[in-house]
Structure 1
Amino acid sequence: MKIGFIGLGAIGTPMAHNLVAAGLDVTVWNRTADKCKPLVEAGATQGDSPADCAACDVLITMLADDAALSALVEEHDLIGALGQTTVHVNMATVSIDFAKAMAEQHAAAGKTYIAAPVLGRPDIAKAGKLQIVAAGDADAIETARPAFDVMGAKVWPVGTDAYRANVIKLATNYMLMAAVETMGEAAALTASYDVEPGDFLEIVTSSVFAAPAYQGYAPAMAQRDYDNPEGFKLALGAKDVDLALAAGHANNVALPVGAAVRERLAEGMAAGEGDLDLSALAEGSRRAAHLDD
C-alpha cells in the first residue's frame, strides 16, 4: 500500500513516523519542506508537490484548520490530482460546513473522501494509540484500515456521512476544554485555602477524575509549566470551541458552558498564552482569584 501524507504538525509528524516505521510506502509533503527531512531519513519519500501524495492508494491530510486544507485543495487542485481509486482521508479537526463541502466536492469529481479525526495528544500519537473516529464509505474505511491500525489503538466507524466523525471530534474537544477549565478553577479554589495545587490535582486525578482528559493536563497545571512544544495549544482549543459553538448554533443547540470557556480562552490569548499548552487555562482562574497578588 502506498500512502501519501500531507501536514507534518505536532500530531501529524508522529503519525507519519509510525507509518514509515511500520514499513509502509509513505510519500510526505509539507509547506515547510524542512519538516520532511526526518521522515525522509527514516525511509519516507519526499513529494515534489501535493499531487505526488494524491497519487497514492490512500492520501492522509492532517492540517491545522479549514483554511489550510481549502488552500491546499484550491492551489494544487488536490481533488483533481487524486487517483480514481485513491481514498482521501482527512484526519484534521474541521468545521461541519467544511466537512460537508469536502464530501460534496469529492463526490462531484467522482473521488472518494472519508473523515477520520483523531482523539489524543502528540504523545499518544507517538505511541500509536490514537482513537480514530471514521465516517464515510465503509469499503473506503477498510481500505485505509492498515494505516489506521498503525496510527491508532481503535477505529470507531460512525456512519457514511463524513461530517458525523467531525461533529464527534468537536463535541469531544468541547468537553475537553470544559474539563481543563473546571480543573483550573477548582485548583484556584483550593489554592485560595492554602492547599498546594499539586496535592489537590494528584488526589482528584487518582480518584474521582482518573481519566486522560484530566491526567494529561494536571502535571503542567500543578507545576505551572505550560511551555510544551508537543502540547495542545490554547489557541487551537479556542478554534475548536468556536467550531463547536457554530455547530450548536446551526442546529439551535445551546452550549452555555462552551460560551463561558471561550471567554476564558480569549482572556488567555489576550495575556499572550495562545501558544502555550491548554493547561495554561488555569492561569486565568488564578488571575481572577488574585492568587499572585
Structure 2
Amino acid sequence: MGAAIARNLVKAGHEVRAWNRSPVAPETVAGMTLIDHPAKGFDAEVVFTMLSDDAAIREVIVSPALLQRARAGLIHVVTSTISVAFAKELEKLHEAAGVGYVSAPVLGRPNVAAAGELHILVGGKPDAVTIIEPLLAVLSKKVWKLGEIPAQANAAKIAVNMMIAMAIEAMAEGVVLTEGVGLERTRFFELILGTLFSGRAYESYSAQIAEGSFEPGFKRGSA
C-alpha cells in the first residue's frame, strides 16, 4: 500500500524519499531516493507514513523522538489504521513538537491505491489539510474531510472496518443456514444482492465467499 502511494506521488512529479522496515526490490522504489533511516524522511515538507499499527508507529517514530528532529514546518500524514486513543496521543505529541499532523486512513486495497482511487478519510487542522490536499488528490478518488480533530478520521475508519466485518459475518451465517437445506450459495447471494443488501461490501465479499477465495486484502507486515 505504501509503495503504491509513493509511486503515484512520483508519477505526479514529486520528489520522493522512501524508507521501509524490511528490504525492498529496486523496482518497488523506482524513481525514488531510498534512505537508510526514517529520520531522514522527517527532513522534508511532508512525510507520509504507512505503518501497520500503533506499536509500529511508536517504535519507528515516537520512541526515537523523530518528531523532535523534524524539519520546521513539516506536516506528518498518518495513513495507518490506528486506535482512537493513540490518534489523540499523536495529536498531543505533534503539537508539543511543533509538527503538523493529519490523520488520513484510507479505504481501498493495494490495487486501488495503485490506480490512485483510494477514499481518504481526513482529520486535522484546516491549514495543514489545505497544504497536503494536492498530494491527496493524486492518490484518491475522493477525500472525505471529517473534521478538525484527527481522531475523528480514525474513528470513522475503525467503524467502517467493523461494519465490513459484520457484513462478512452476516453473509457467512446466512450461507451456513441456507446451504444446510441445499440452497446453493450463489443463488442465495443473487437473492440478497437483488433485494435488501446491494452495496459494494456485500457485492465484493459475497463474490469471494462464493469462490472460496479467502486471501486477505491486508496483511500485517513491515511497511
The answer to whether TM tops 0.5 is yes
- TM-superposition CA deviations, 1:226-258 (whole Å, max 9, x none): 135xx135xx7xxxxxxxxxxxxxxxxxxxxxx
Distance 1:14 1:40 in 2: 10
TM-score normalised according to structure 1 size:
0.70
Which residue in 1 is equivalent to 2:28? 39
Moved over 4 A (4+): none
Name structure 1 gaps, 5 residues minimum. 1-10, 237-274, 276-293
Deviation at 1:75, TM superposition (A): 4.7
Relative distance call for 1:169 and 1:149 in structure 2 (3 A) is same
What's the CA shift for 1:191? 1.2
Is the Cα–Cα contact under 8 Å of residues 50 and 76 in structure 1 kept in the other structure? Answer: no
Counterpart code for 2:44: C
Cα distance in 1, alignment partners of residues 139 and 13 from structure 2: 13
What SS does the corresponding residue of 1:194 show, helix, strand or coil? coil
Aligned partner of 2:56 in structure 1 is: 68
Question: 1-side partners of 2:70 and 2:86: how far apart?
Answer: 19
Among 112, 120, 127, which residue is 1:139 paired with? Answer: 127
Q: Does 1:16 align with 2:6?
A: yes
CA contact (8 A) 2:189 2:206 kept: yes
Deviation at 1:121, TM superposition (A): 2.3
Alpha carbons 1:28, 1:47 under 8 Å: kept:
yes
Amino acid at match of 2:120: I
Q: CA deviation at 1:25?
A: 1.3
**Which structure exhibits the higher relative contact order, with contacts defined as CA atoms closer than 8 Å and separated by 6 or more residues?**
2
| 1:85-120: CA deviation from partner (whole Å, max 9, x where unpaired) | 110011111111110111101111111111111122
Q: Deviations over 1:168-223 (max 9, x none)?
A: 11111111110111011112222112122123224433553232211221222111
Q: Indicate the residue corresponding to 2:89 in structure 1.
A: 101
Name the structure 2 match of 1:232. Answer: 218
Matching residue of 1:30: 20
**Which secondary structure does the structure 1 equivalent of 2:188 belong to?**
helix
User: What runs of 5+ residues in structure 2 fail to find an aligned partner?
Assistant: none
Identity of aligned residues (%): 37
Task: Report how many aligned residue pairs link the two structures.
Answer: 221
CA distance in 1, matches of 2:49, 2:121: 15
Stretch deviating more after TM superposition (155-164 or 63-72): 155-164
With normalisation by structure 2, the TM-score equals 0.91
